[in-house]
Chain A
Amino acid sequence: MTLDASPDHREDAEPVLAGSDLHLSFGPTPALRGASLSVGAGETVAVTGSSGSGKSTLLHCLAGILMPESGQVRYGDHDITALPDKQRSALRRTDFGFVFQFGQLVPELTVDENVALPLRLAGVGHKEARRRAAHWMERLEVTGIADHRPGEISGGQGQRTAVARALVADPVVVFADEPTGALDSLAGEQVMTLLSDVAEESTTAVVLVTHEPRVAAYADREVVIRDGSTQREQEPVR
């Protein structure tokens, strides 16, 4: 398995999630050509790169949403790319959490219902789901708007709600795709501070896709992706 070659990142014995040499093209345009990324428990890795460089595609491959054409994604004992859809879905429900920039909160559901959604999808009972959701809403400081619907709250509150939802099922890995993309600096800062604090406390690994250096600075490590391939870090100049 090819691991990230960076010597200075936290060298955990075993990364919890590791994608290696991933290739994927949409039609004639290659989106990923040899991208690799691994993340250890409790580690936050920022994936940066210009738009169209393939950073979201890499995230989707790692999360089992997209299937790469070649390469593998190891999670625990599994190669995610070899799992059937049903199991990948189950993995996303139970082991992964997601924060996206767009269209993630269900507009018909209230904030607390949105937060409890992954638990309900996983078959957790109504009361239990509510209780656990309440905990995370408090942690993310959105308890006050529990009865509101996504249309009635601010962008920052929405993203904090999304973070609470991503964490509610005690995931092993949280995937965050431009979580502050539509927020102003302060709101973005709040979201990122809470996300990184919580991830650190709960030893949750975070894969953070962003194009903003200030956001990437919340991560422990940065992986730059350019033209669909991740850049090796610390390679000596010839």
Chain B
Amino acid sequence: MSARGNARTLRALRTRIGDFRLGVRLAVGGSRTPWGRLSLAAIGIGLGVAVLLLASSVPNMKQARDERQEARLAGVYGAYSAGPSSVDQEPVLLTAPQGTTFRGEHITGRALQPQVPDPPVPAGLEQLPGPGEMVVSPALQDLLQSPGAELLRPRLPGEVVGVIDKEGLVSPGELRYYTGVTDLSAAGVGVAAVYPEKSSRTQPGDALPPQLWIMLAFGVVVLLVPVVVFVAGTTRLAEAARSRRLAALRLVGADGAQIRRIASGEALVGAVLGVLAGWLFFLGGRQLAGHLSILGFSTFVSDIRPDWWMALLVTLAIPVITVTTAQAAMRRTIIEPLGVVRQVAPRRHRMIWRLVPMILGVLGLLFVGASSASVTDLQIPFLGSIVLLLIGVPLVLPWAVERVVQRGSAKSLPWQLALRRLQLSSGTAARSVSAIAVVLTGIIGLQTFMATIEAEERSQSTQSPSSRSFQPRHEVSVRGELAGPEQSLEELTEALAGLPATRHVEGVTTVRFGTLEVEEPRKTRVKRYRTRATIVDCAMLRELRDISRCRNGEVFREAPQDPQRTRDRQPWREPVRPGERLSAMARHHGPAGAQEHTAEAATWQAPQEFRQLPEQTGPSGTFSLSGLVLTPQAAEEIPWWARSVQVGLDFTDSASPDAIERVRNVAAEYLDFSGAHQYGTASAGSDAMTTYALIRYGLLLGALVTFALIGCSLFVTAAEQIQERRRQMAVLAAVGTRRRTLGWAAFLQNAVPMLVAVVLACLVGLGLGMLVVGVASLDTLTFDLPGMLGLVAIAALSVLVVTALTLPALRRAMHTDGLHSE
């Protein structure tokens, strides 16, 4: 290239940089920098960035938790053994899960019993706790030291000798302990044996069921798209003034590209400040999140970290979005600068291209719904379609608002003022509510989907008979195993009956029987589970079942329900044959030695004749009598370590909420691995239920945060409009317009776009919900009308609040001072 060419290129480059710098200069103008507007934009963008960073940290958070959980399992579990391992090795460590519940909170524990002098140590522990010692998580340590812990301490009597380190915990709030024991039996079915050779078995992380996945992914999209829309919106704060300024530049000779560059420079200042603020918010919020616990869910600060590429994406994408929006906003300034300078009403919006994203979204969802592949395999089309549909809302909204206000004709003065104003600037009005419209659309869609899932589950649960007929016979159910040969069920029930809150108590013991078999490939002897037996005396049996005749020493057998079916479903569960020799299975305890399964002491011979156990007619209650029922005299050969205990207990009416804790303490005194559950109290259900609740809770929280964000922007827009029209306000006030009239006009000016937004959001949201329901192949389409009304109420409320907040500004603007301001 020639020297002159180089010079020209250099000059062009310098012009470009100069334009950019001019834009920056316009945004940050020394003493008269519009700090208020700039900081609002920065805070707005910052909150958006923080939310996006947080959202992009979630996968890492889950992965970190999974990894630690996995490491913990691999370190402790090794391989499960229900009997002797096929490996010719003695286990180095025995372990069994323990745990209790204290005032509704679950405490997980693990009993550890080293078999060699140098056993492996679970992650997070320095060394194994000795017998009678405990190592606890920090949260549990706090709990044990908190007032009221005397109700917990009897259950966890071990001396605390250490604290579990972070790498042994899934979350900081986790309540967990390890305790050293000596009486675990390798033969126990509840006992895991760890062998020196490291098991490479890894559990795949729990994949979410498709419906939950859809709910979660849908929810995240629904919350994040408005954040992006909101961020884009903050760039357009004070747009009217900016357009006029840039239009003036355009008149003196700035060309389209220059205007775009200047606008970019200007927007970039806000975006860069916003991204910085976002990182600050994120890092600060992260610290805060380390101290929060929601529904028992807490997390380590260090786990909240986005992938580097996600962080980079957010950090770069936000400025790109703001710059793009700023450039798009300058379209009219570039095409007709004169109109902008003179504040001529802009031309009408065209509809067609604005509908394109929405139509694509609908088609996409229909495609995903019609496709035979699973949704989880079509993540990108699915999520992309939702994003398109949601993005379509702010695009269609200006058109809709414009149509509505063009149609409107007004008789009263406030209506006239509001409508005419909206006709002039329907774009600004629509923009101020576009983020809220997106949130509403998304949440209404989500609500429809969740309501449908719930309806589906309800209809399924009413169809299933088992859940219908379950009615507890007792208020409290206590389970556990006898702690030693000297303990007995009778002593336990007596001790429980001695508690002041106890009205009635009764209990049974149960045994699990198996048979010895030789397993083929390596000819090892394995004890296979066959049946369960309940030991009940005649008096109680008569209460439980409709039995006329019962003699001590008799054995009852459950009526075989269609033996063919039983065998098909559970082929190992053949009915016990008369005279068959069964072997009692240990759960945790047992005579020392892993080979104990062969011990004669553990065998029990079935009688030659069974009595038939009548079918259950009433509620099954606390004790389910399945398999065999043994009268105590028939069970004398069964050793203590094979006996589990089930106790049912009722409280008096005046029992305190802590009564259950006392029951647990007494149970722990007589039983090992005990637990007590009070029916009808809130207690976390299944894992899926917890996840469901967590997701719902998280979505609700996210929706609130988004709403708050958008409420701010709504307020800023409204305040800005007043600021921009101070002079007109002052003039109106000077000619004697009542403050009430202007207040009403301001309210209507906020309310009309909101109304349009709500109507549009309801329509699109319901459509979106229906489409996603279609994708999830659910049948019982249900609408969450109360939820929807609630949202509409929130929207209405936000209009009221925003109007109320802008009233002081309005009053100030109406002061005749406004006439003098230039």
A residues whose Cβ falls under 8 Å from a Cβ of B: 60, 65-66, 85-86, 89-94, 96-98, 100, 102-104, 106-110, 113, 117-118, 120-123, 125-126, 149, 151, 165
Contacts of A60 in B (CB 8 A): 338
Minimum CB–CB distance from B41 to chain A (whole Å) comes to 15
Q: How far is the CA of A94 from the CA of B254 in the complex (A)?
A: 10
Q: Are B251 and A65 in contact (CB under 8 A)?
A: yes
Which of B14-22, B54-62, B544-552, B553-561 interfaces with chain A? Answer: B14-22
Q: Are B253 and A107 in contact (CB under 8 A)?
A: no
Q: Does B245 make an interface contact (CB < 8 A)?
A: yes
B residues whose Cβ falls under 8 Å from a Cβ of A: 11-12, 14-15, 18-19, 22, 25-27, 29-33, 244-245, 248-258, 337-338, 341, 822
Given contacts A98-B251, A108-B32, A149-B29, 15 further A-B contacts (CB under 8 A): A65-B251, A86-B255, A86-B257, A91-B253, A97-B252, A102-B341, A106-B245, A108-B27, A108-B33, A109-B25, A109-B29, A113-B25, A120-B22, A121-B254, A149-B32
Select one of B12, B27, B33, B341 contacting A123, CB under 8 A.
B12
Q: How far is the CA of A90 from the CA of B11 in the complex (A)?
A: 14
Minimum CB–CB distance from A81 to chain B (whole Å) comes to 16
Q: How far is the CA of A125 from the CA of B19 in the complex (A)?
A: 12
Closest to B259 in A: A89
Q: Are B14 and A125 in contact (CB under 8 A)?
A: yes
Q: How far is the CA of A126 from the CA of B22 in the complex (A)?
A: 11
Select one of A85, A94, A100, A113 contacting B256, CB under 8 A.
A85
Contacts of B248 in A (CB 8 A): 100, 103-104, 106
Q: Are A98 and B252 in contact (CB under 8 A)?
A: yes
A103-B341, A149-B32, A151-B32 are contacts. A90–B255 as well, Cβ < 8 Å? yes
Q: Are A106 and B258 in contact (CB under 8 A)?
A: no
Minimum CB–CB distance from A88 to chain B (whole Å) comes to 8
A98-B252, A102-B341 are contacts. A109–B11 as well, Cβ < 8 Å? no
Q: Are A89 and B25 in contact (CB under 8 A)?
A: no
Contacts of B25 in A (CB 8 A): 108-109, 113
Q: Are B249 and A123 in contact (CB under 8 A)?
A: no
Q: Are B18 and A85 in contact (CB under 8 A)?
A: no
Q: Are A89 and B32 in contact (CB under 8 A)?
A: no
A108-B29, A122-B15 are contacts. A100–B255 as well, Cβ < 8 Å? no
Q: Are A89 and B253 in contact (CB under 8 A)?
A: yes
Contacts of B250 in A (CB 8 A): 89
Q: How far is the CA of A116 from the CA of B18 in the complex (A)?
A: 12
Q: Are A65 and B337 in contact (CB under 8 A)?
A: yes
Q: Are A103 and B244 in contact (CB under 8 A)?
A: yes
Q: Are B256 and A86 in contact (CB under 8 A)?
A: yes
Q: Are B254 and A93 in contact (CB under 8 A)?
A: yes
Closest to A98 in B: B252
A60-B338, A86-B256 are contacts. A123–B26 as well, Cβ < 8 Å? no
Q: How far is the CA of A106 from the CA of B254 in the complex (A)?
A: 13
A109-B26, A123-B15 are contacts. A92–B252 as well, Cβ < 8 Å? yes
User: What are 5 A-B contacts with C-beta separation under 8 Å?
Assistant: A89-B258, A103-B245, A104-B252, A117-B252, A118-B252
Contacts of A120 in B (CB 8 A): 18, 22
Contacts of A107 in B (CB 8 A): 32, 245
Contacts of B11 in A (CB 8 A): 123
Q: How far is the CA of A121 from the CA of B341 in the complex (A)?
A: 19
Q: Are A118 and B29 in contact (CB under 8 A)?
A: no
Q: How far is the CA of A90 from the CA of B253 in the complex (A)?
A: 6
Q: Are A65 and B338 in contact (CB under 8 A)?
A: yes
Closest to A149 in B: B32
Q: Are A94 and B32 in contact (CB under 8 A)?
A: no
The 10 A-B residue pairs with the shortest CB-CB distance in the complex, in nearest-first order: A92-B253, A89-B255, A123-B15, A93-B253, A108-B29, A108-B26, A98-B252, A86-B255, A103-B248, A121-B254
Select one of A106, A149, A151 contacting B249, CB under 8 A.
A106
Contacts of A98 in B (CB 8 A): 251-253
